[in-house]
Copies of this chain bind each other. A is one copy, B any other.
Amino acid sequence: MEFDIRQSTGHLMVHVMKLHRHTFHKLTEEYDIFPGQPPLLFRLHEKDGQSQKELAESMRVKPATLTVMINRMVKNGHVVRRPDPVDQRVSRVFLTDRGRSVMDSVREALALLEEISFRSFSAEDKQLFHRQLQQMAKDLSGFDAGRHPEGGSTTEME
C-alpha cells in the first residue's frame, strides 16, 4: 500500500497553516502589519534597540530576511534603524511610537487567532498538542543535524 500524500498529516498541517496565516492577515492588515512581523515587534517591545543579528537569531530567521522585513516596517513607520555608536557595522532597531501603539491590537489579534484555532480543544488536549509539536521540532531538527554532523548540538529547543 503506497503512501498517499493527500491523506498525510503533513499535508493537512500545511493546509491548516495556510488558513492560520490567512486569518491572521485578515485580523491585522488594517494596522499595516503582516504575518511575519509580530515576532519582531514583540522582541523589540521586550528589549528595544537590539541588533539585527540578535533579532535574527532569536527569531530563527536569516539576517537577509530581517533586512528586508525591517525595510518595510521602517517604511510603514513601525520601527527605525540607528547605527551602533561604537561598532559601525551593527545597526540597532527601535520601536517607533506607532510601532508601540500598534502592539496592543496585534497582541489581541494573536490572542483571538489562538482562541479560534484551539476553541475545540480541551485544556489538556492543547497541552498535549503543544508538547507533541515540541517533540516534532526536536525530531525534525535532529534528523537535519544528522545529515550535517558539523555544527553544534542543536538539541536545545527553548
A93 to B137, CA, bound (A): 36
Please give, as numbers and ranges, the residues of chain B lying within 8 Å of A113 by CB-CB distance. Answer: 10
Asked if A98 is an interface residue, CB under 8 A from chain B, the answer is: no
**Other-chain contact of A39, B5, B38, B125, B126 (Cβ < 8 Å):** B5
Decide: A139 near B119, CB < 8 A? Known: A12-B133, A42-B5: yes
Is chain A's binding surface mostly helix, strand, loop or mixed? helix
Please give, as numbers and ranges, the residues of chain B lying within 8 Å of A130 by CB-CB distance. Answer: 9, 12
**Other-chain contact of A116, B2, B114, B140 (Cβ < 8 Å):** B140
Asked if A26 is an interface residue, CB under 8 A from chain B, the answer is: yes
Q: Are B15 and A14 in contact (CB under 8 A)?
A: no
Asked if A88 is an interface residue, CB under 8 A from chain B, the answer is: no
Write 15 A-B pairs (CB below 8 A) sorted by A numbering: A5-B107, A6-B42, A8-B110, A8-B114, A9-B130, A10-B110, A10-B117, A14-B17, A15-B60, A16-B137, A19-B140, A19-B141, A23-B143, A117-B140, A120-B138
